[in-house]
Structure formats: C-alpha cells, structure tokens
Amino acid sequence: MITINVQKTLLTSTGKVVLKFNETLPEKRFFSIFGNSGSGKTTILRMIAGLTKPDTGFIKVGDEIWFDSKKNIYLPPQKRKIGFVFQDYALFPNMTVKQNILFAMDKKDLEFLDYLLKITQLKKLKDRYPYQLSGGQKQRVALARAIARKPKILLLDEPLSALDIRTRHILQDEIITFHKELNLTTFLVSHDYSEIIKMADFVFVLEKGKIVKKGKPDEVFVQSKISEKVKIVGEVLKIEKEDIIYILTISHYNDIIKVIITEDEAKDLKVGDKVLIAVKAFNPIIFKI
Amino acid sequence: MNDFWITLLISFKLAFLTTIILFIIGLPVAYILSFKEFKFKSVVEALTTLPLVLPPTVLGFYYLIAFSPDSVIGKFVDKLFGIKLVFSFEGILLASIIYSFPFMTQPLMSGFRSFPKNIIEAAYTLGKSKLETLFRVILPNIKSSVLTAITLTFAHTIGEFGVVLMVGGSIPGETKVASIAIYEEVESLNYHEAHKYALILLLISLFTLITLNLINKKLDYGTYK
C-alpha cells in the first residue's frame, strides 16, 4: 500500500491555494491526476518524488516511510525508488542516448539496457546526443532512463503534452508496456482526459488544490451512465445546420467524424466542447485491414 | 636566464598558481552562492564581487595593513610557516587570489544559474548525489563557463598592476612581473625592452582568446532541451 497524506500552501498566479492530498492506494496500479494548470497536480508528483517538501503530512510506500513531518523524516529523492519523467525531457546534453540510460543504473545492466532500447525503439539512435533527437525520441529516452533504475513508482509529469498525436499514441503504448511488464505503480499527471481514459485505472480530479472527483476514468469523465457498446471521445470542430438537422464534426485523434444531431442536442454544444459519442445497439460494418 | 625571461616567468607562474588555487576555492563558493540559501548570503556575495569595483590600490593598501609583519595575521603566518606575506612571491600570490576572485566565481555562477534546474533534479531522482551531479552532469554541460572563468582569471592576473606593485614592491626575480616591467622600462625611456614585454603579452592574450573561441564552438551540445 501507498499512503500519501500531504498538505502544502502554494502561491499560484490566482492567489494562495492550499493543496491537500490524502489517499491510501494499492500498489501496481496506474493512477492519474487530472486538472488545469495551477491546480497543484505537478506539485503532488514532486512531493512524492521528494523534489518539493510538503508543509505537513506523511508518505509511506510499502514499509518505507518517505516523509513524516511529525518525526522529522524527509527522505531525499536519491533514496526514494522512483522514476521521474519531466515534461521537457531533462536529458543530460553531454551524454548519448545509451549513456543517459546507463548513467541512471546503479549497476550497469546491459541486458536491461537492451530491453529498454527495444521497447522504446531507440536501438538505432543509441549513440546520438539529445540535440540530435526529435521531441518524441527525447521523451522515449527520458522514459527509458527513468525506468533504468527499476523504480517502484513511476512518476510522469505531463510527459506527452508537447508531442504530436501520432507520437503520443506510440508513447502511451510504451508506457503501458513498461507499467505492466515491470509491475510499476504509475502516477500520470495530465490534462488530456482521453489519454487518461486510455491509460489509467483510477483518476483524481484536482481543482484549486482539492480533489473534487475520483474514480474510474470513464465513470468520472462521463456524466451519464450509458451501457454503451462503442464510444468515441472527441472535440467539437464544427456545428452546421442542414435543413432540420445539424451536422456535428468531431476530431478524434487523427480522425474527423461527422454525426447527425437534433436541434435540441445542438443547443447545448459549442465549438471546442469535449463530447462522447456512444452507440448502444447497432450493427456495424466491419472491415479487416 | 636573463632578467627579461625571469620577469616573464614570474608573471606566468603567478597567473598559473592563482588560477589553479582559485579554481579549487572558487568552484565550491560559486556552487554554494548559486544553489544554497543562507543568512547574510548577500553580504558574502558582495564581498566576493568587491574586487571588481574596488580600486586596486585600495585593496593593496588594506592588504599591506592586514598582512604586514607587524600585524597579527602577518606575525602568526611568519611564525607558523616562516612565510612573509608582503614583498614576497607568496604575498603577491595571496593578493592575486583575493583580487581575481570574482573573475573565477562570476562566470561559474552564471553557468550554474543558467543551467536548467530540472536536469539537476533528474539526476537526483536517478539516485545521484549532489557531488556526482556536479561533476558528471553540471560541469560537463557548462564547460564554456568553466573555460571562461579560467581564462579570465589567468588573463586578469597577468595584467595585474596596482595590487602587485603595492604588495610586492617590484623586487627583481621575486615580485617583479611583466606588467610592472613595462611601466618601469617606459619610465626609463627604454622602449626596446618595453616593446618586447608588450608584444609577448599582446600575442599571448590574442592567442588565448582565439583558442577559447574555437574550443567553445566545439563544446556546444546544442540547446539544453
């Protein structure tokens, strides 16, 4: 079990915010913290990592106490078994891909290096320096480097937000592979709900430092309980009136989807809204590709 | 060896030793001033920068008062190590270390401060100690700042005049350095000798700067991100 019970007063652009997070969580799950910028989600991750000290509280992972303000225990990040992936990669510019990963290992394990390079598809790039890589490639190195030390907890601070959609998808799959194959407990900070629905087992929605909702991602993000068979989450691009019906254009990752809606439905929607399209009972045409 | 070469040699010996000693002292000082918060930090920072703005004669004057054989410190060092801290090579060495201090610490501090904090934090989350992070992550990535610090310290010490003259007294073969020699040769209208010193210092300065620029270009690992 992991117990995280921390408080910290933050000074944000919108004023003082008291950040509170008090949860006891099972290990080896994929958790996500969702919220807008300034909600304090990154700070929670940094407190778990030992990069930011909570004002008061308690962090216990398994049998190890990482932080206890009453007993004055504060383990530095070096002593916590964590892997941290930063939004802007934070690779060591003076080291090649291979050296970045090997530097992270306490003992040089070439077999594990091979495994990491294979999953992240970096084998051909292993002798390049960070400045010779694309954003997606850099973030793969950062991911492999964070895992090289075989951490118990993997902390991901909006790792994919700067990447294009295709790259984001590939990296999401790589993260899921590592999470499952290495029995990691993973915390993903994100403001992309579709990413969370795809990856996480459990999500905490943070608003101004407080958890306002928590649960399974599709239950949290989808208000109505529909026993849908197929669902697509996307963003409204266009709403067009055509005779008595409306045509809704939705972007779903790389795809553009058009659906017909009624005037009543169209009333509540505007461009930029996030929507879920669900089909209950239907007979789709299936093509093998 | 004639006087000309001995004087040049003293100049370079002084600059070389000053740079080495200052690197060893300046590195931890610059690190602490860049990354740590403590009481009276601004006072310490001001003291390390003071030689940049202080007239060299003021520094030399206070140095003479503080370290003369009649002073407490001067007496103490003389008794303990048998070293005189004024009108001796050791004296101009110590004075140079004080006077060139900011030339070592300022470039190092600007290197430390501009280095992305999250790369340092990344090293910590990978289990690396502060010392290992300093030597394997920070310093290799701020090589140009390190090089600038070393070059500036060296060049500045070669060019020192006021402090070395006041503290060293221009004793041939002991504290007379090239920059003072030029002044004395010109004073006695001995332009030929002055030309020799000046030309050598000019060429060396030019050569150092060109080399520095070339190396700096090679050290570039691209941007930090």
Burial A71-109 (b: 16+ CB within 10 A, else e): eeeeeebbebebbbbbbbbbbbbbbbbbebbbbbbeeee
Residues 204-223 of B with CB under 8 A from A: 221-223
User: HSE-up of A79 (CA within 13 Å, CB side)?
Assistant: 8
Residues 17-36 of B with CB under 8 A from A: none
Domain ranges of chain B: 3-220
Q: Give me the residue label for tokens 């002593």.
A: A79
Identify whether the C-beta of residue B187 lies closer than 8 Å to the C-beta of residue B53: no
> Which residue in A has a C-alpha nearest to residue B123's C-alpha?
A104
Task: Give the three-state DSSP class for A230.
Answer: strand
> Which residue in B has a C-alpha nearest to residue A142's C-alpha?
B122
A89 neighbourhood in chain B, CB within 8 Å: 225
Instruction: Of B97, B63, B69, B96, give the one whose Cα is nearest residue B83.
Output: B69
pLDDT category at A283 given cuts 50, 70, 90 is low
Check: complex ipTM more than 0.85: no
pLDDT at A280: 66
pLDDT at A285 over 90: no
A153 neighbourhood in chain B, CB within 8 Å: none
- pLDDT tens track for A15-66: 888 999 999 999 999 999 998 877 889 999 999 999 999 999 999 999 999 9
- pLDDT tens track for A108-142: 999 999 999 999 999 999 999 999 999 999 999 99
User: What is the least distance, in Å, from the CA of A130 to any CA of chain B?
Assistant: 8
Spatial strand order in the sheet of A64-68: A15-25, A2-12, A56-61, A64-68, A73-74
Give the pLDDT of chain B (225 residues) as one tens digit per residue: 688 999 999 999 999 999 999 999 999 999 999 999 999 999 999 999 999 999 999 999 999 999 988 888 888 888 888 888 999 999 999 999 999 999 999 999 999 999 999 999 999 999 999 999 999 999 999 998 999 999 999 999 998 999 999 999 889 999 999 999 999 999 999 999 999 999 999 998 898 888 888 888 777 665 453
Q: Which residue among A51, A106, A132 sits closest to B127, beta carbon to beta carbon?
A: A106
Q: Which residue among B119, B124, B225 sits closest to A92, beta carbon to beta carbon?
A: B119
With an 8 Å Cβ cutoff, is B129 touching chain A?
Answer: yes
pLDDT at A228 over 90: no
Comparing A238 with A288, the larger pLDDT belongs to A238
- Give one DSSP letter per residue of A95-114, joined into a string: S-HHHHHHHH-SS--HHHHH
B3-220 is a CATH 1.10.3720.10 domain = yes
pLDDT at B225: 39
Mean of per-residue pLDDT scores for chain A: 89
What's the token pair of residue A245?
A: 């019906």
Amino acid of residue A44: I
Task: Give the three-state DSSP class for A191.
Answer: coil
A116 neighbourhood in chain B, CB within 8 Å: none
pLDDT category at A227 given cuts 50, 70, 90 is low
With an 8 Å Cβ cutoff, is A130 touching chain B?
Answer: yes
- Give one DSSP letter per residue of A121-167, joined into a string: T-GGGTT--GGGS-HHHHHHHHHHHHHTT--SEEEEESTTTTS-HHH
- pLDDT tens track for A172-218: 999 999 999 999 999 999 988 889 988 999 999 998 889 999 999 98
Residues 87-116 of B with CB under 8 A from A: 116
E-only strand ranges, B33-106: none
Is A89 in contact with B136 (Cβ distance < 8 A)? no
Residue B17 host element (H or E): helix B3-35
> Which residue in A has a C-alpha nearest to residue B136's C-alpha?
A94
